[in-house]
Structure 1
Amino acid sequence: MRALVQRVSRASVTSGGAVTGAIDRGLLVLLGVARTDTDQDLRYIADKILHLRIFDDHQGKMNCSLLDTGGAILLVSQFTLYGSVKKGRRPGFHEAAEPALAEELYREMRALLSRAVPVETGSFGQAMKVELINDGPVTIMIDSAEKFLS
């Protein structure tokens, strides 16, 4: 599982001409699910997102998490995080999960994160337009495969 996390001043997602989710200060999380992902990957990524210390403390140092600052999450499905351009110029998506598994884990991620902070979402499997003001800019990639590397 991969999560591209952006610290934002505000963000919104529109699908079919309607806003499906919007937040002020918090995190925009683009979530990609791999075909081999399990509940263990889900919990690892959720914990990292919630505890990632990328918000400024009173001294201006990135030392606070979303839990410390009281922000929200805009969670958007993003299978293209598993796009590979190793061969040719057109991305291949063979590592991305099939839609049924991806949607199940995406919904579980929303439920898990919602226990701790407010969560808004995009429309799974639909074309979306995402607007954001990246604060910093701060953008971090979290990959659950890293939990196995030492």
Structure 2
Amino acid sequence: MRALIQRVSSASVTVDGNVTGEIGPGLLVLVCAMQGDTEKQSQWLAQKVTKLRIFRDEEGRMNRSVLDVGGAALVVSQFTLAAETRGNRPGFSTAAAPDDGKRLYEHFSAQVAAQGVAVANGVFGADMKVALVNDGPVTIWLDTEA
């Protein structure tokens, strides 16, 4: 699985003019299941995201996790993280099939929540509008295969 995480002051996702999820301080997590991924990768990724120390401590150093600061997570499915860009038109053949992708996306969200983080979501497969205020900015790429 792949994820792009951004430390945010706030973030929201809108589908057809309706806000489906929004958070205050925390993480925007764009997530993509890849072919061959299982709940094992989803579990590992959820633990990594919730324990990653990218929030400032009292001295201003990145030394606290989203759990430590009591932040939330807005989890949004984004199959384009599977993009293959050898040519000028990206290909997405390495992304998981939609049924598997949805199952693993939902599993990932549930695992983040099980770690103790409040979770809001986008809508799998929908045309979403994502708004965020990136804090830092801090943006980190995670891949369970790396």
Q: TM-score, normalised by structure 1?
A: 0.95
- The correspondence of residues 28-47 of structure 1 with structure 2, limited to 5 A, is 28-47=28-47
Kindly provide the CA deviation profile for residues 86-134 of structure 1, in whole angstroms up to 9, marking residues without a partner as x: 1x21100010011000000011111111121100000110000000000
2:69 corresponds to which letter in structure 1? T
Alpha-carbon shift at residue 68 of structure 1 (Å) = 0.4
Aligned partners of 1:24 and 1:2: how far apart in 2? Answer: 23
* Corresponding residue pairs, total: 145
What's 2:101 paired with?
Answer: 102
Q: Secondary structure at the match of 1:96?
A: coil
Aligned partners of 1:80 and 1:23: how far apart in 2? Answer: 23
- The correspondence of residues 47-86 of structure 1 with structure 2, limited to 5 A, is 47-86=47-86
1:23 corresponds to which letter in structure 2? I
Q: TM-score, normalised by structure 2?
A: 0.98
Alpha-carbon shift at residue 139 of structure 1 (Å) = 0.2
Alpha-carbon shift at residue 42 of structure 1 (Å) = 0.7
Alpha-carbon shift at residue 43 of structure 1 (Å) = 1.3
Aligned partners of 1:49 and 1:110: how far apart in 2? Answer: 11
1:108 corresponds to which letter in structure 2? H
Aligned partners of 1:74 and 1:43: how far apart in 2? Answer: 17
Unaligned runs of 5+ in 2: none
Kindly provide the CA deviation profile for residues 60-108 of structure 1, in whole angstroms up to 9, marking residues without a partner as x: 000000110000000000000001111x211000100110000000111
Aligned partners of 1:137 and 1:82: how far apart in 2? Answer: 23
Alpha-carbon shift at residue 39 of structure 1 (Å) = 1.5
C-alpha RMSD of the superposition = 0.6
Identity, % of aligned pairs? 52
